[in-house]
Amino acid sequence: MRAFSSHLTGDVTTMKKLLLTTALLALPFTANAGFMDADWAKKACDGWNNNATLTNELGGDEWAANDGGRGYKLIQMYRDECGADSKVQINISNQDGKAVCTYGGKPDGKAFDNAMDYLMHATDEDWTCMGEGSFGCGAMGAMTTGKLKFDGPKMEAMGVMGPFNAFLKLTGTIAGEKGACN
């Protein structure tokens, strides 16, 4: 019986080492994306497409159709702590009356036009506040207090405050580490 018990102890120790090694090797593949890195932007694109407020209320002849005949609108974002060179982008197209995200990642070289596209940036603290929908951090509050800085068609944004608010809250639902810049 003792030989059997000692054989199991060795197998358990070997199994523990194997599991620990496997977990450590997998860590880089399972860790959260960085907040507002290319992986995060892809998840934001997927989140957009799963949000009825964004897809339905921004689609059709209004917001999404203001694309200058290009077939897309761009939303670029970055963290102030990381600078403009760290920006990410989502592309929105008007498809069958819905505002559909077709790309999320690093800027893909498409022409940016302030008359129809958006560039947004804020501090990590303010992105967190907006993502949580905290008091004073909704779309209107963030714009008027300067928590959210952006270039783009401000009057158009004012006309879609409900969906704009849903977008800001979406940024808080996508996991991402706000540590080092990417």
Burial of 28 by CB count in 10 Å (0-12 exposed, 13-18 middle, 19+ buried)?
exposed
Cα distances (angstroms) measured from residue 7 to each of 12, 13, 16, 48? 9, 10, 14, 54
Distance of CA 120 to the CA centre of its chain: 12
Domain residues of the chain, as ranges?
1-31, 38-171
What is residue 57's predicted lDDT score, i.e. its pLDDT? 95
In CATH, what number does 38-171 get? 3.30.1050.10
> How many helices (H) and strands (E) would you count in the chain?
7, 5
What is residue 15's predicted lDDT score, i.e. its pLDDT? 41
Residue 174, both tokens: 């996508």
* 182 residues of the chain, pLDDT tens digit each: 555 555 545 554 444 443 333 333 333 333 457 999 999 999 999 999 999 999 999 998 889 999 999 999 999 999 999 999 999 999 999 999 999 999 999 999 999 999 999 999 999 999 898 888 888 888 788 888 888 999 999 899 888 988 999 998 999 898 888 888 87
Taking the model in full, what pTM does it have?
Answer: 0.80
The three-class DSSP label of residue 42 is helix
Burial of 4 by CB count in 10 Å (0-12 exposed, 13-18 middle, 19+ buried)?
exposed
